[in-house]
Amino acid sequence: MATTTGDGTEHWQRFAVRFEYPVVFTEGAFEPQNEVLAAALARLEPDRRQRVLAVIDAGVAQAWPELAGDVERYASVHADAMQLVAPPLVVPGGEAVKNDRAELERVYRTLHAARLDRHAFVVIVGGGAVQDMVGYAAATTHRGLRVVRLPTTVLAQNDAGVGVKNAVNAFGTKNFLGTFAPPFAVVDDFRFLETLPARDRRAGLSEAVKVALIKDAGFFDWLEERAAALAAGEREATAAMVRRSATLHLDHIAGAGDPFEQGSARPLDYGHWSAHKLETLSDHELRHGEAVAIGMALDARIASTEGSLDDASCERACGLLERLGLRLWHDALGARDGGRLRVLDGLDEFREHLGGTLTVRMLTAVGASRDVHEVDPALVEEAVGWLRARARGAP
């Protein structure tokens, strides 16, 4: 809708763009008879043979040595729907790939050499870091290629890979460069989780606990009941957890009125103001999910000391994280600079990243939360001491 002022000096531009994409849960996405990927590629142009570049996380390629061949075989069986423009490109996995400009450049070069246009596809098979980095490259190539994500970690399947964001790190700042770019489709293939190292599998459970803590007490109860099965990576419990967590994240993006995060509130970033800082302070020794577990415990303790959360709920939150095999301490949390806890810089960085006023989600109960605009450094100090003592087994 456009309106013009009486004297014609102002034109008020307004339009809405509708985004939609399928998120499909499956097993064995590259088995020749599995139609999910071919159908996803064909969803807007059923009669077109889509041009596709597949990019594979090196960790996945190593765990699944047949994968590149399987992708090629899948493309030939579904040749009516797709055509690979080049053999699959393998990029290193893990956070390092978001720090490495040379890898980003290599992806851009490959996209350029393959002459992918805005209707062509990049199919990304990998963890959250590879999804973020290749997603960023694809989003900024010709102002946005079509992306189909096949997330291969728990965290990428239950959170990072189903949403609308991508990013790389720069100047020592996590996710400094990035865009909002809804994918064309997402295919969560549970089979990939079979080869995920236990450490990464457990780290991914953090984001499920997070979304349960801030919005779904029933899901939190469910996670408590299945903590042992989830910690052990039991298949059915893991698949159910991924589905529920992904759905809660997706519902939030679609239903909370701010999919591209233009306001200052960021409920899905519960526990993240310190987590992002801890990742950097630990030199990325901490996985994202591990840092989020510590960050959530820290904020739960802050809320209970402050009196907005009851102690029993704080204990339930911390206890569940521990039973899932997540540690609630890392020395980076105690790091100081001239006496001041370095993690406190995370508050400033979080505010800068959000823009506007500092807005941090705090729990009021298990399954309920609110935004606060101030975090008292003295309470952070107290909570850090409490977590240190807890990790040492102090009563």
Ligand X SMILES: NC(=O)c1ccc[n+]([C@@H]2O[C@H](COP(=O)([O-])OP(=O)(O)OC[C@H]3O[C@@H](n4cnc5c(N)ncnc54)[C@H](O)[C@@H]3O)[C@@H](O)[C@H]2O)c1
Smallest gap from residue 193 Cβ to ligand X (A)? 6
CA distances to 132, 158, 204, 343, 368 from 151, rounded to whole Å, are 11, 9, 12, 30, 29
Toward ligand X, which CB reaches closer, 63 or 170?
A: 63
The vertex-391 CA angle with 156 and 202, nearest 5°, equals: 20
The smaller minimum CB distance to ligand X, of residues 38 and 154, is found at 154
Q: How far is the CB of 277 from ligand X (least distance, A)?
A: 13
Place of tokens 């040595």: 65
- CB atoms inside a 10 Å sphere around CB 331: 11
Closest to 126 in 3D by CA, of 86, 96, 84, 82: 96
Q: Mark 204-241 as b/e (b = at least 16 C-beta within 10 Å).
A: bbbbbbbbbbbbbeebbebbbebbeebbebeeebbbeb
List of residues contacting ligand X (CB under 6 A): 57-60, 63, 93-95, 98, 126-130, 132, 152-153, 155-156, 159-160, 163, 165-166, 192, 195-196, 200, 203-204, 287-289
Q: How far is the CB of 176 from ligand X (least distance, A)?
A: 12
Nearest approach in angstroms of CB 47 to ligand X is 33
Minimum distance from residue 243 beta carbon to ligand X (Å): 17
Tokens 């969803």 map to which residue? Answer: 43
Minimum gap (Å) between residue 198 Cβ and ligand X: 11
Q: What share of the chain is helix, strand, coil (3-state, %, to 5)?
A: 50, 15, 30
Cα distances from 162 to residues 157, 252, 324, 357, in angstroms, run 7, 12, 23, 27
Query: Is the CB of 166 or the CB of 305 nearer to ligand X?
Result: 166
Q: Which amino acid is at 121?
A: F
> ∠ at Cα 173 (292, 129), nearest 5°?
60
Nearer to ligand X, 84 or 133 (CB): 133
Output 126 or 271, the one with its CB closest to ligand X.
126
Dihedral pair phi/psi, residue 292, rounded to 5°: -65, -35
In Å, what is the CA distance from 40 to each residue of 52, 119, 140, 146, 185?
A: 12, 14, 22, 11, 6
Choose between 141 and 280: whose C-beta lies nearer to ligand X: 280
Residue of 229, 207, 63, 238 lying closest to 128 (CA atoms): 207
- Cβ(241)–Cβ(248) below 8 Å: no
User: Smallest gap, in angstroms, from Cβ of residue 57 to ligand X?
Assistant: 5
Nearer to ligand X, 126 or 325 (CB): 126
Nearest distance, CB of residue 174 and ligand X, angstroms = 7
Question: Judged by CB, which is closer to ligand X: 244, or 287?
Answer: 287
Q: Between residues 158 and 369, which has the closer beta carbon with respect to ligand X?
A: 158
Cα angle value 114/120/124 (rounded, 5°): 85
Q: How far is the CB of 303 from ligand X (least distance, A)?
A: 22
Give the nearer residue to ligand X in terms of CB position, either 202 or 301: 202
Q: How far is it, in rounded angstroms, from Cα 197 to Cα 44?
A: 37
Least CB distance to ligand X at residue 155 (A): 3
